[in-house]
Amino acid sequence: MFELALRILVLIAAIQQLLFPFFVNPFAGGENPVRFGTPSQIEPAGYAFSIWGPIYLLALGYGVWQLTAVRYRGATLKIAPFALVLYFGSSAWLYAAKHGPLIATMPILGVMAISATLSLLISLQYIPRTGWSWWAVVLPFALYAGWAVCAAFVNVAEVAPACGFNRFGLSVPGYALLSLTILGLVAMILLRLTQGNLPFAATIIWALVAIAVAGVGRGADRSVVLTSVICAVLIAVVSLTTRIFSRQA
């Protein structure tokens, strides 16, 4: 009975996550309450945020699939707590971005990134690399984890100055370079843990390329644009080489 209730709750969470932006949207009318003062130079171009559409829809698909996925009940039960935190966290982030406190968006997105990553790692332990189960479980959390990890770094760069953070005394471009470097290192570590998962890598690359595109359009420091591109290339290389070596092993 508890297991069924938990599965139903995951589905409800996925549904509310999809519907919540229709009622609470801090970016309606072109507004961006998360941006504060001088742009961080690592905010992706606007088109990149369209990835939320596939993320929400795939999450809904997972919510429906896990309701009757008896064969993979071990995986879905382990994922369930993290999925609930992730899906409800998405709505909590939108509420905090619109109504405040703005500082809450940083820990919320950080917890979302961790929850999505753990869900992905669990799914990779149980789900085969081919078949419908891969599309239903691994793909949704790979996209969510990749985007949430990137968004967590961007969110801190945009919001923290509003809370008195002085970027460790670095200039805006200097802090942007630091953020990109740490993001790249974190992404490469996670790629090792996920055996070079391609959707996860592709999502990180999607965000980094969008940062470079936005940087060119907004006149960001050239070093920031170049670092974004370099990180994207390195992540592609790490992903492919990790997959090759993991298969050989």
pLDDT over 60 at 138, yes or no: yes
pLDDT surpassing 60 at residue 217: yes
- Report the alpha-carbon distance of residue 153 to residue 231 in Å, rounded: 14
Task: Give the per-residue SS3 of 176-200.
Answer: HHHHHHHHHHHHHHHHHHCCCCHHH
Query: H or E element: which one contains 212?
Result: helix 198-218
pLDDT digits (tens, 9 = 90+) for 91-137: 999 999 999 898 999 999 999 999 999 999 999 999 888 788 899 99
pLDDT tens string 31-79: 777 666 677 899 999 999 999 999 999 999 999 999 988 788 889 999 9
Average pLDDT value over all residues in the chain:
92
Q: How far, in Å, CA of 245 to CA of 159, rounded?
A: 39
Q: Are 62 and 87 in contact (CB under 8 A)?
A: no
Q: Is the separation of the CB atoms in 84 and 10 below 8 Å? A: yes
Q: Coil, strand, or helix at residue 40?
A: coil
Give the pLDDT confidence score for residue 31 in this predicted structure: 72
pLDDT the model gives residue 69: 83
For residues 242-246, average pLDDT: 82
Counting residues of the chain whose pLDDT is more than 70, the rounded percentage is 96
User: Between vectors from CA 188 to CA 182 and to CA 191, what angle results, nearest 5°?
Assistant: 140
The domain spans of the chain are: 1-23+48-165, 171-249
In the three-class reduction of DSSP (H, G, I as helix; E, B as strand; rest coil), residue 155 is classed as: helix
Radius of gyration of the chain (CA): 18
Residue 203: Cβ within 10 Å count: 25
Average pLDDT over residues 4-25: 95
